[in-house]
Amino acid sequence: MTLSEEFRSRNFSIYGQWTGVICIVLCFALGIANIFSFNALRIVFSIVCLVCSFLIIFIEIPFLLRICPTSSKFDAFIRRFTTIWMRAIVYLAMSIVQWMSLFSGASSLIAAAVFLLLASLFYALAGLKSQEFVGSKTLGGQGLAQMIV
């Protein structure tokens, strides 16, 4: 299945996974950009945003769990988020934390909050429509992970 075929499949878990990839880039870039502010509370939220980007990397790209040296506790923690509903919940929690960054004043962290909320909504829609989780082959879904072993 090519990338365009994946998007035409109308499976919301694919949309959630690719929105998650956008969240990786946004959370990393905005976390770095906001860490240099002079607002102590915003610095805390930017560090949380950076941590979220690294968690999302391992949640959305299962291929990395096979090639990166991680502990068994971390692997077990990440494997909790294999279901659609757990992914929707974790993205919603990360989004709420970034929305709370508004307490430190308006900043670009709002963009991360919006995209994290979108990813949560896509996964929730997939759950409501009872769609099976389909990982993108491009991101290490069904085909790539078996080729490495």
Mean pLDDT of all residues in 131-136: 74
Mean pLDDT of all residues in 40-58: 94
Give backbone dihedrals phi and psi of 108, rounded to 5 degrees, phi first.
-75, -5
Q: Which token pair is 145?
A: 């992970």
Mean pLDDT of all residues in 67-76: 86
Alpha-helix residue ranges (DSSP H) falling in the chain: 3-8, 12-34, 40-60, 63-67, 72-79, 84-99, 109-128, 142-148
pLDDT at 134: 75
d(CA 68, CA 20): 20
pLDDT(108) > 50: yes
Mean pLDDT of all residues in 45-64: 91
Which residue has better confidence, 139 or 64?
A: 64
pLDDT(79) > 60: yes
**Least confident span in 7-16, 59-68, 76-85, 137-146:** 137-146
pLDDT at 82: 85
Instruction: State pLDDT tens for residues 11-20.
Output: 888 889 889 9
pLDDT-derived band of residue 145, with 50, 70 and 90 as boundaries?
A: very low
Q: Which token pair is 44?
A: 């805390």
Estimate the crossing angle of helix 109-128 against helix 12-34, to 10 degrees.
160
Mean pLDDT of all residues in 126-137: 80
